[in-house]
Each structure stands twice: as C-alpha cells, then as structure tokens.
Structure 1
Amino acid sequence: MRWWDIGPVLELEYALFPEDAWSEGMFWSELAHARGAGATRRYVVAELDGALVGYAGLAAAGGLGDVQTIAVDKSQWGTGLGARLLTDLLQHATAFECDEVFLEVRVDNTRAQKLYERFGFVPIGFRRGYYQPGNIDALVMRLTVQGTENPSHG
C-alpha cells in the first residue's frame, strides 16, 4: 500500500465498515511505519482490472504481530483473496521475527473466523464492547508462528 492507494482504500473501508471505519489519518499513520530499515508495519493492496478489491495490514513489535485489518470487496468473497492477503501478512510476521500473531474479529463474523482458524489461529478470549457503535464483542485469536518457539513467550 502506498499513499496513492489511500483514497480507494477508504472507499472500500467505508463500504465494508460504515460504523467503525478507519480514518484517513489512521492509514497515513500506519503507512508512516511501513517503510525503511526500521519498518514495523506491512500494508498490502489487491487490485483486479485496475480496481482496488482488498487490503490488509500487520503491525509488529517485540516478537508479537497484530493483524490490524483485512478487507475484501464483497464481489471477491469466496475467491481466496482474503487467504492470499493473510498469507502475505503471515510471511512478513516471520520476516519481522514474530513468535505470535494476534487479531480481533467481530464475534458475529463467522466467515472471517473460519478463515483464521484454517490458518491455525485459536480463540484465546474476548474484548467486551470492542466494536462501536453497537457494543459488539471481539473474539481475540492467536497464532503461534511455526519454527519460532520461544519459552519466554509461552
């Protein structure tokens, strides 16, 4: 994802998450940490016939990764695009030397939960009232990254 992607990303963001969409400033802030030797973020976009149809982001620090966002245009649901975006993020979690990767997902978003479970994420708890408005709980999920067993995080 680059600065010129922010406009199309925001269009998809507001279409998919109208009540709790990220602001333009939030995306700019994340991208500021995605370049250079000290980068701690990975943001990617997916395009089809020149149109943005998905994006995803990962933050990494101290051996921990956090899937910040994954969004796929409804026209692309069921095509495997979400899995490809998640695969990219997890490859970069390994490059960032993450031992574990976390994410939050709406408790009522079973479609996304099934995707994450296929990748080995397991539920570890809830964040009550995490998604606003509506006071919707988030299911917290964790993936232990293979090959990076670290007893201090166990």
Structure 2
Amino acid sequence: MEIRRLTFEHAARCAELEEQLFPGENPWTREIFVVEFAQPNHLYLGVFDGDDLLAYGGIAQLGPREDPEFEIHTIGVDPAQQRRGLGRVLMDQFMRLADGLDGQVFLEVRTDNEAAIAMYRAFDFEIIGERKRYYQPSGADAYSMKRASSSERRGV
C-alpha cells in the first residue's frame, strides 16, 4: 500500500465512496472534490493498493502560517477495507503536518460513529461541543472535537 496526494483524476472515485459511506446525507460530489483539491491550503491524501483508491482524507490549514489551525474535512474508507487501520494511516499523516507547524486541529463527527470517535480519541482529540442537527438531511447530531497543538500537549 502507498499514500499519495489526491488529484483531479481521483475525484470520481472519492465521490463514489462518499455515496457508499454517507447515504441519507449530502455526500460530496465529484465537483466538490475537484474544488477541494484545488484549494492551496488543503491537502487530500489517499491510500492506494496499486491504482485502487482504498481510503481518502482531507485537511485544511487555516489562519496564518506562524499560528495555524487545522480542520479535518473528511476521512473515508472503502467499506470493504474498513477495520484495517487505513483511516489511522491518513490521520497519522495529517497529525504530523499539524504537529510540524504546532497547530490545533478541529473536526466534526457524528455522535453515533463510535469507531471514528475512538480513533480520534486515540489521536488526543477531545469533545468540545455538540452540534444539533449538523448533518443534513438526516438531522444527525455531531460532536465538535479538538486536538491541542503539540506545544500545548507538552505543556509548553
């Protein structure tokens, strides 16, 4: 397996996986992924087996470079590939980026997505709030989670 930066050619596969992973919500379309990939402050990575995209994820850097914040935009793993640690592989890459620039990281996750919440907790994320009816059209609630910067976690 290999981790590579996603390009426009991967947008259709990401959208296909979104349809599988987030039925009943507003899964991202190919066009949304194309726009996301084009943003200079966004990084989208994929886990590949040869040419097969097995998992994808994206992070955005917000604020000034000398005091950045990061936001996880999405993480998705092909249902046939789940429980193999592919989401953790992507999160590890994103957390290395954030730690390298000493930035905090934020994300939202469905309150009923216990597997994702457990993974985020393993990366030192804490629940900082709840957003009622965040996901549409289902109306599912989300937790807002935060991971402190590396200097904050070290007590510096």
TM-score after normalising by structure 1? 0.86
Q: Which ranges of structure 2 fall in alignment gaps of 5 or more residues?
A: 1-5
Alignment root-mean-square deviation, CA? 1.5
Tell me, in whole angstroms, the C-alpha distance in 2 between the residues paired with 1:4 and 1:77.
23
- Deviation of 1:13 (Å): 1.1
Tell me, in whole angstroms, the C-alpha distance in 2 between the residues paired with 1:86 and 1:131.
22
Partner of residue 50, structure 1: 51
Partner of residue 141, structure 1: 145
Aligned residue pair count: 143
Please point out which of 79, 101, 105 is paired with 2:109.
105
Deviations 1:96-137 (A, max 9, x none): x25210000001101100000001000000111100112111
Q: Does 1:122 align with 2:123?
A: no
Per the alignment, in what secondary structure is the counterpart of residue 103 of structure 1? strand
Partner of residue 72, structure 2: 67
Q: Which ranges of structure 1 fall in alignment gaps of 5 or more residues?
A: 34-38, 150-154
Runs of 4+ in 1 over 6 A off after TM superposition: none
Which of 59-68 and 15-24 deviates more? 15-24
Contact preservation (8 Å) 1:42, 1:92: no
1:14-25 to 2 correspondences below 5 Å: 14-18=19-23, 19-25=25-31
Tell me, in whole angstroms, the C-alpha distance in 1 between the residues paired with 2:28 and 2:102.
25
Is the alpha carbon distance of 1:77 and 1:40 closer, same or farther for their aligned partners in structure 2, counting shifts above 3 Å?
same
Contact preservation (8 Å) 1:129, 1:135: yes
- Deviation of 1:24 (Å): 2.1
Tell me, in whole angstroms, the C-alpha distance in 2 between the residues paired with 1:134 and 1:14.
14
Contact preservation (8 Å) 1:60, 1:98: no
Residue 136 of structure 2 aligns with an amino acid whose one-letter code is Q
Deviations 1:9-60 (A, max 9, x none): 1111111112220122221111111xxxxx3111001112431110000011
Contact preservation (8 Å) 1:14, 1:21: yes
Per the alignment, in what secondary structure is the counterpart of residue 108 of structure 1? coil
Tell me, in whole angstroms, the C-alpha distance in 2 between the residues paired with 1:11 and 1:26.
12
Residue 115 of structure 2 aligns with an amino acid whose one-letter code is R
Tell me, in whole angstroms, the C-alpha distance in 2 between the residues paired with 1:83 and 1:4.
24
Residue 147 of structure 1 aligns with an amino acid whose one-letter code is S
TM-score after normalising by structure 2? 0.85
